Amino acid sequence: MSTTTAFTQEAARVVSHSHSRVASLARQLIRIESITPNDGGCQAIVRNRLEKLGFICETMKFADVTNLWAHRGDVFNSKPLIVFAGHTDVVPSGPTEEWEHPPFDGIIDDQNVLHGRGAVDMKGGIAAFVVALEDFLQLNPDHSGSIGIILTSDEEGPAKFGTKLVVQELTKAGIQIDMSIVGEPSSRDKVGDTIKIGRRGSVGGDLIIKGIQGHVAYPHQSLNPIHESLGALKDLVEMTWDNGTDDFGPTTFQISNINSGTGARNVIPGIKTTMFNFRYSPASTEESLRSRMEKILEKHSLNYEIDWHEACLPYETDRSSHLVEQALASVFEVTGAEGALCTSGGKLNHFSSFQSTSDGRFLAAAGCSQVIELGPSHKTIHKVDEHVAIEDLQVLADIYNNLLERLLLPSTEEH
């Protein structure tokens, strides 16, 4: 067995002291009501911990968003550069009276379960990674490679001024990220049972069909945009956009809202607005979907406009990549169970209703070819009474620690 991939007695001793530190840091972060785009001081707490470990920290402010870029080692020459990405913002709690425990009190109940907004998504994951770093660096201060951390307060919102702009700044500076671990809640039932290696893309907008308003008694003097667009909408819904890939299901097109009319029964409307969305696989591109949709609308001779919204790009990491293989090995060594690989909304996905996006797409778009999402269970994500077992956060910290050993310590195994 490799001495670099097995917990030594000394490593086990260090980790045994990290349980209370994971809980303490997670509680400290949860008690800050950092609703998007407000960071509320969360990143300052993390920064203080990281600077004690020798990290150089830089706060990047864009608009009303706070971002943190922290790095240790020569990020230009000490390879690989491994970056942990996360977010300190959370979604609103909803009606606080419906919570068993106040959403921003960070209560730990008698079952050793931590309650609060962000426990799962994703202050618990941030705490686990920080503690994993503390444990890893205590034993391995002279590791190879370099380590970076990106935190943003703009992941749950529009995501225009967060990780997207941070990685753009890093690229301008000539910093190339080699591997990235996104601490999003990827697991299904137990920590590590699922590792996300990709996400579908998302692009949508508002389709505006223009007609001529008039009286329903004189349809020949009007042009009804509802009637005129029925054929085109049918074609869009029935279209096979692609056949997917080995890891992703086919691209889907969905209409989420249709609005037309003045509210009067005797008026033919002059305009119809249809909200739509594509969830697309890497077999298609944003440009190809736009072009094909416009050709269908033109085939039906419609007078239309499309207000396209900003796209979320898809990404996919090769399952045979070094990061994926070592992440699976770490999960098995720490938990004794095999992890499964997943691409949200794809053929590897066993819970297709979980089809959101993450900041992993920005890291991939910046040239990082190895991106995974590895975090706690997503069962209570964004729900009333969001919670996570302290033991799960400790297991996650152990997995992160083990993964850092595998990626940044020289192997002594015979090849």
Q: Looking at the annotation, which residues are catalytic? A: 89, 155
The answer to whether residues 236 and 341 touch, using CB atoms and an 8 Å cutoff, is no
Cα end-to-end distance, the chain, whole Å: 12
> Quick one: tokens of 263?
């509210």
β-pair type (267-268, 214-215)? antiparallel
CA trace torsion 344, 346, 350, 354 (10° rounding): 30
The answer to whether the Cα torsion of 216, 218, 221, 223 is positive or negative is positive
Question: What SS3 state is found at 49?
Answer: helix
CA dist 137 to 11, 40, 105, Å? Answer: 11, 28, 31
The answer to whether residues 379 and 183 touch, using CB atoms and an 8 Å cutoff, is no
Nearest Cα neighbor of 188 from 340, 26, 403 is 340
Question: What SS3 state is found at 87?
Answer: strand
H helix runs in 63-214, sequence order: 123-139, 163-172
The answer to whether residues 21 and 134 touch, using CB atoms and an 8 Å cutoff, is yes
- For Cα atoms 196, 202, 206, give the angle at the middle one, nearest 5 degrees: 160
Neighbouring residues of 330: CB distance < 8 A, sequence distance ≥ 6? 192, 399, 402, 403, 406
**Residue 296's CB: how many other CB atoms inside 10 A?**
16
Nearest Cα neighbor of 86 from 113, 120, 116, 58 is 120
Nearest Cα neighbor of 195 from 331, 318, 315, 314 is 331
> Quick one: tokens of 400?
């992160």
DSSP state of 220: G
